[in-house]
Amino acid sequence: MTGAEALREAVLRLRAAGIEGAPGDARRLLAHALGLAPERLTLHLGDPLSEAEARAFAAAVASREARRPVSQIVGYRDFHGHRFRVTGAVLDPRPETELLVDLALAEPVARMLDLGTGSGCILLSCLAGMAAAEGEGADLSPAALEVAEANARALGLDRRARFLLSDWFSAVTGRFGLIVSNPPYIAEAEMEGLAPEVRGWEPHLALTPGGDGLGAYRAIVAGAGAHLEAGGRILMEIGPAQGAAVAGMLAAAGFAGVEVRRDLDGRDRVVAGRWPGGGG
């Protein structure tokens, strides 16, 4: 069987499983099974698959049929120009989160903090774009921290990034010029409506704080002032209906210049604020 024949069969299987984007997923999985960069796959579609390659591709397709995310099957996700290792212990980095990084890079700092760092994709992307910066990534999951540390080493940023086990600010000391976070923000009642790839395969700890979905923001906003330098910024990713509520929390806590920024699809995506006095 050639790669093209295997690809056609896989697309039919994935479509039958109700997977949107089946052709793209199948191509990425076949490239992974063949050990090729995805952009080089077309050059090899006419080649016959070895027995080992056919088995690897069949196993990958079966995993995708079970709605396992492609990034977990191939083990990585590209984000903001860098490649990040991904496992079931961390959220799959999403393109819309790149807005948070872009906003952070608009004002480089010497020291930054990423709360709920997960794979480390936000912190490490920021550090890659701020040559003089150092940063800390905090997470409640030891398994997530292992992934983040591995990503820091792979990107050559392990000397400028430090990771700590922390329940938000519980183990954090000192002040920072920037605090960033993509915290869990899905309301408990919304969990059943998530795509199977998210609900069944990504860590619930990183998806929902329970209740109305705003609990993480309350905790972060309550502690942020004590850990920001004068004039320091906070940037938090939000759900599309949470802008007004989170902006209101920041304003009530004394932050200045509070604004909600939209992503390329026109949805509220990031809430930003600036700490005026640097005191807690």
CA distances from 83 to 92, 93, 137, 163, 269 (A): 12, 10, 18, 19, 23
Q: What is the fold of 89-274? A: Rossmann fold (3.40.50)
pLDDT band at 278 (very low <50, low <70, confident <90, very high): very low
**Average pLDDT rounded to a whole number, residues 64-85:** 96
Evaluate if residue 280 carries a pLDDT over 70.
Answer: no
Which pLDDT tens digit goes with each residue over 197-231?
A: 999 999 998 999 889 999 999 999 999 999 999 99
In residues, how long is the chain? 280
Q: Taking Cα atoms as reference points, which of 149, 154, 218, 128 lies closest to residue 181?
A: 218
pLDDT band at 130 (very low <50, low <70, confident <90, very high): very high
The pLDDT of residue 205: 86
Evaluate if residue 259 carries a pLDDT over 60.
Answer: yes
The pLDDT of residue 134: 98
Give the Cα separation of 279 and 136 in Å (integer). 20
Q: By percentage, how much of the chain surpasses pLDDT 90? A: 96
The pLDDT of residue 279: 43
- Cβ-contact 54, 1 below 8 angstroms: yes
How is the chain split into domains, by residue range?
Answer: 3-66, 89-274
**Average pLDDT rounded to a whole number, residues 143-150:** 98
**pTM, entire model:** 0.93
